[in-house]
Amino acid sequence: MTSPLPMTAGRWVALVIGTPLALVAIGWTALTAVAWAGLGTTRVSLAVPVQPHQTAAVSVDTGDVSVSPGVAGLIRVHGILRYSLVAPQASWQRTPSAVTLHSRCRVPAGECSLDYAVTVPPAGRSEISVASGDLTATGLAGTVTLKSESGDVTAARIAGSATIGDESGDIVVSALSAGRAVITDASGNIDGTRVSSQDLTVRDLSGDITVVFTTVPATVTVSDSSGDITLVLPHGPAAYRVLASATSGNTTVTVPKSAFSPHVITATDESGNITITQ
């Protein structure tokens, strides 16, 4: 028969610390298992009239949002909220030409996803903002404003005039033909492909900026505080008036240059390399 081990100071400490942690781990595992077993879905469907002179505005505090053109004079919102055990808190306010959506998960384990599909009047004024979640916009025209505070922004086939902003997340644009476009990011990369905007402004505080043009632009203004800048201009004889300055980094310019060109490229970088090429 073996004698019990003596309870030393070290064993008492391990017992005092380890027992609550083990109970927490067991409880969390049980909660997660129950949560995944009790999955549910709830839906949101809204329609808000918009007059031609009004801005179609949709604001979401939490959730992923996809937006596309719909029918004239109407905002439509279709939401799918997937959850475990307890339905998330969801509410909305409707004012003339605007919808504000609020949602919050109640159970910390299991499934909780909030997805909204939004359509806005085509070729009008639209403003879509998300506090926490990814924002995807496709095929919008007119005066378009896309904003996210925390999440990625993806925009494709945006025409008219565009303002795209993000506080924390990447911005990806493709087939951007807005005559005037402003893209800003506080923390994240900015990546543009098939860009044909004539007047483009891009600003980033922390992240790389890459823009590939399909047509010769009139005015491009790009600035970055920390990250590389790469501008790829179309092949051809067009010359550019280039003003490029990197405080800490290398500057490489291989496009045709002319001090009298109407095509002006301005690029400034505090910490990073600048490359302007074809």
pLDDT tens digit sequence for 5-43 = 565 665 545 545 555 554 444 443 443 444 444 467 778
* Contact assessment for residue 231 and residue 240, using Cβ atoms and an 8 Å cutoff: no
Domain-embedded: residue 23: no
CA–CA distance from 272 to each of 209, 246, 264, 269 (Å)?
A: 10, 7, 21, 6
* 195 and 110 housed in the same domain: no
**Does 27 map to a domain?**
no
End-to-end CA, the chain: 84
Residue 136 has pLDDT above 90, yes or no: yes
In terms of domains, do 181 and 262 share one? yes
Instruction: Answer whether residue 14 is part of any domain.
Output: no
Among 88, 121, 154, the domain-final residue is 121
* Over residues 249-256, mean pLDDT: 97
| The total number of structural domains that make up the chain | 2
Q: Tokens 């904003």 appear where? A: 147
Q: Which residues contact 83 (CB under 8 A, 6 or more apart)?
A: 39, 40, 41, 42, 105, 106, 107, 110, 111, 112
Rounded-to-integer distance, Cα 251 and Cα 67, Å: 38
Report yes or no on 107 lying in a domain: yes
Specify the pLDDT at position 25.
46
Average pLDDT for the chain: 86
Domain end (from 79, 95, 121): 121
pLDDT value of residue 38 = 46
Is 28 within a domain?
no
Pairing type for strands 98-104 and 89-95 reads antiparallel
- Domain termination site, one of 98, 121, 144: 121
Same domain assignment for residues 87 and 193: no
Edge-to-edge strands, sheet with 241-246: 89-95, 98-104, 55-62, 125-132, 143-148, 161-166, 180-185, 199-204, 219-224, 264-269, 241-246
Binning pLDDT at 50, 70 and 90, where does residue 105 land?
A: low
Q: What is the dihedral of CA 3, 9, 11, 15, to 10 degrees?
A: 120
Count CB atoms within 10 A of the CB of residue 124.
23
- pTM confidence score: 0.82
CB atoms within 10 A of CB 15: 10
Query: Any idea what DSSP says for residue 158?
Result: -
Q: Structural domain of residue 81, as residue ranges?
A: 35-121
By CB neighbour count within 10 A (0-12 exposed, 13-18 middle, 19+ buried), where does 261 fall? middle
Same domain for 66 and 105? yes
Cα 164 to Cα 200: distance, rounded to the nearest angstrom:
11
The single-letter DSSP state of residue 240 is: B
Token couple for 120: 């806005």
Compute CA 161 distance to the chain's CA centroid, rounded to the nearest angstrom: 18
Reported residue count of the chain is 278
Query: Does 219 share its domain with 276?
Result: yes
Same domain, yes or no: 145 and 268: yes
138 and 206 in a common domain: yes
Regarding whether 42 and 141 lie in a shared domain, the answer is no
152 and 189 assigned to the same domain: yes
